[in-house]
Every structure is written in structure tokens, then in C-alpha cells.
Homo-oligomer: A and B are copies of this chain.
Amino acid sequence: MKMKMKQMAAALLALLVSINLYGEGQKDTIGSADSSADTQAKYVFLFIGDGMSLTQINAAEAYLKAGKSGEIGVEKLAFTQFPAQGLTTTYDAGSFITDSASAGTAIASGNKTLSGVINMDVTKTQKFTTIAELAKDAGMKVGILSSVNLDHATPASFYAKEETRNNYYNIGVQMANSDFDYYAGGLIRTTKTPDGQTPVLDIMKNNGWSIATTRDELNSLKPSSNQVYAYYNTSLTTNSLDYALDMEADDITLAEYTKKGIELLDNENGFFMMVEGGKIDWACHANDAAASISNTIAFDKAIQEAMAFYNQHPEETLIIVTGDHETGGLSLGFAGTGYDSAFTEISKQKMSYEAFDKYVAGPFKSENPEGTLAQLMPAIEENFGLTDFSDYESGLLNKAFNAMMNGAGQDEESYILYGGYNPLSVTLTHILNNRAGLAWTSYSHTGVPVATFAMGVGSDMYNGYYDNTDIFKKTSALMAVAP
């Protein structure tokens, strides 16, 4: 009953918002929105699950339900219980299947552009202003967080303008010269500094940024600190947080960075915080459902930090959760398993494809210089729970092992089978996922719309079926920073 009353209150609030913002004389109303009005979102969280559409969410929910109770159904994530839910199209100006740069631009600035382009128009001459910049100009503090490198396309879309997302150095310089308050997550990929130029981290230091690379350094930061860039070196990877599946107990999580961000950004003028679950996308590119599911759950934990803040400021907080596109063409059904699902199979996978690749190339190869598939079988069973292969599965596995040892062909079939990934590990995740009743159609993004969820001030505006550019429009209107 309490929830029903809350939903009613939210509906009433949304009604007031829509009357206020979308009545006659819409533009004037938005332009003159009183910053002290009840309907304005003062604390705004925008969570973007990279590559996260409905199927990534639903796979996590089905897995949680099966794992916890053995029952059939879904154990809802925190964010899918938000009162508002919409569907969002993601195509860009040049391709039905977007990339993360054009998708990030659409969400951050409300404009469609070409794949690969960050906050510039299709002619690559006009630059767009982002919602984070508008927030900053309005006196709010701004935080940009991601589980991947902070100069990656999605986070970059909130502070940079570049003809191509591959201009990492230029993007890094724009980050170092931005007036935002908090960046956290993966180390920038900007390792190659052009001749005669200053490394990006040096520019940051010269500009007085606090660089926090340990938990102690993170914990020592205070709201009065200078601009902050927080990252740490993980055990496995350089430019991103490890997959949740590979994290060790003392690793800093996206949730921890989010919690610290709230502490640092909280101020009387409000804040805008974008948090990207970036490795959901990377897991789905590699067709690794276990990594996608565990990172979706980790992403939900970061969202729960925002929900804890919402509970303290329910009248002034808005939380939006969306994806920038779907990745991998994930579905919850496979030809070989028909109407059956066995989601608990996924829990047998103990490490990501990435960690397994490193194990095979490292320790395994050292111990077995002439390594055979038979020698690798114990590790396959231990880390993927795979044994008792059918003839069909054995055929796939042998072919993949040979391709790993002797090189996969460059032909169409090899690409469809392995997508440029390590043939063995991608075949292992395919076999495991298929046994669970999950399957993939691509190693790229797809054009499937994403699901968007919202709670808080004006959240009902996020109901419906709309475009990713509308996320900018709705959110900037609710923040009263629309251009």
C-alpha cells in the first residue's frame, strides 16, 4: 500500500511538472523556470549502462531469481523498480546501429550525429553544449564516472567535442582543462602524447587536480578538495575497473566511486552526476553473459548509492537509468535448448573471458608449452563448469582450440564464429551461455531500443517511447538548464 501511495504522489508531481513545463508558451516557461520551484531537479543522476538494453537487464534478473531461490521468474534489480519506465530509440545520424560516441552525444547534448563523432554535428564544424556543461554553468557541481577509461566515448561525450572518439589525447586535454569537479573510474587511455605536448595527467597536476589512485587517497578527499580524478590500477587491466567477476575483495567498485562522488559533489547548488557501467558493453561485445550479468548487478549497486541519497532528498532528486544501445544481440532463448532455460549454469563461470585469456596465454602456456586441449580441460571445467560435451559442442571446441593455436581465418565464417576474439574463450562462453538458454547474434552493437527508468522529480516524463535525444531534452528541462 505504501508503494501505491508513493506512486500516486509521483504521478501527481509529474502532472504538476508537465503542467508547468509543457503548458502554453512552453519555451518561455522552461526558460523562466524558477530555480526554487518544487518541480526542479537539483540533484541529478544519469546512469548509462553501456550496451545495456532490456535483454541484459532481464538476463540479470532471471539469473538472480534462479540463483537465489531456484524459482522461475525475475528478481528485479533496484532500478527496474523505479516508478517510470520508457523505451528509447538509439539510431544515429548515419547508422541505424549507433556507436557509443553518437549515442553519448545524443544523450548528453540532444543532437544526432555520426558514429564516432563526439559533440559535433555531421559536418564536424558545429560544436554542441552538453548537459553537464549547462549544469556547471548553472552553478551545479559535476561528476563523470565510468568503469572504463574516462576518455572513452561515453564519458567523453559529457565534456569533450572531437571529430573522432579516437583523438584520445585531445579528449584527455579537454578533460584536464574542464571545470568539472569529479572524475572517477578507469585510467585514461591517453598514453601516447604527441611530440612537444604535455601528458594529460601532467596537465591535470599543473591545473591543481587531486589525483587519487588508492582507497586511502580517495577516502582522504573532502568536498573542499580541488578538482578530483580518482582511478586505481587493477590486477588485470590498465584502463578500466576489472570485470565484477574478476574483482578482488579490496578492489574499488563503481558503487564506491559513486558514494564518494555524492559526498564530494553534494552542495547547496546541486549537482549533476553521470555514471557509466561501461564494461557491460565490453562483456557483450565478447558474448560473455556471466560478465555482462555480474557487471549489470554491480551497476545496480552503484545506482543504489544514488537511491540512498534520493531517500534523504526525495523532493529534489532525479535518477535516470538508461542504456546507450544494445550490444551483442542477446536473447533469452537458444535454438538448441528450445523452451528450456538453466540460468544457474551461468554461476559456474568463475572468471571473465578476459581473465581466462590471460590465464591461457600466461600460466597455462608456461606450464604447457605444447599445450593441448586435453591439458586445458581441467581449467575449462574449473572456470566455466563445462564438461560432458555433446558431439556438436566438441566439434566447436576442437575447431576453436585449433584456431587459437594456429590463428583464426580472416574469412566470413571465422568472424561469425569468433568475432575477432580469442576463438577458444568466445566458444566457451557461447557453449556455456547456450546451455543456460542465452544466445547472441553479433559482436557489435545492435539497433534494438533500450529501456529507460526514472525515479524522483518529474520522473513520469520518462514514461513512453521516445528517442535518446529526448533524454537530454527532458532532463535539461527538469534541471531548468535547457538552452
Q: Which residues of A contact B (CB under 8 A)?
A: 1, 4, 7-8, 11-12, 14-15, 18-19, 22, 24, 26, 54-55, 58, 62, 66, 72-74, 76, 80-81, 83-87, 89, 91-97, 99, 115, 326, 329-336, 338-341, 343, 390-392, 395, 411-413, 415-416, 419, 437, 439-449, 451, 453, 460, 463-465
Contacts and interface: CB of A to CB of B under 8 A. Distances in A.
Contacts of A58: 89, 447-449
A88 B4 CA distance: 19
A384 to B, nearest CB: 19
Contacts of A448: 54-55, 58, 331-333
A333 B441 contact: yes
Given A72-B96, A333-B442, A437-B447, 7 more contacts: A8-B18, A55-B448, A72-B95, A332-B446, A333-B441, A336-B416, A463-B463
A94 B70 CA distance: 12
Contacts of A451: 87
A80 B89 CA distance: 12
A443 B391 CA distance: 21
27 contacts: A7-B18, A8-B22, A11-B11, A11-B15, A54-B449, A58-B89, A72-B94, A80-B465, A84-B463, A84-B464, A85-B87, A95-B340, A96-B343, A97-B332, A329-B331, A331-B331, A331-B446, A331-B448, A332-B446, A332-B447, A332-B448, A333-B446, A336-B412, A338-B444, A339-B445, A341-B447, A392-B416
A391 to B, nearest CB: 7
A460 B332 CA distance: 28
B91 A464 contact: no
A83 B7 contact: no
Contact of A339 (B95, B338, B339, B416): B95
Nearest to A450: B54
Contacts of A115: 339
Contacts of A83: 464
Contacts of A26: 1
A1 B22 CA distance: 8
A411 B391 contact: yes
A97 B336 contact: no
Residue among A7, A453, A464 facing the most chain B CB atoms (10 A cut-off): A464
Contact of A336 (B14, B94, B341, B415): B415
A392 to B, nearest CB: 4
Contacts of A97: 332-333, 339-341, 437
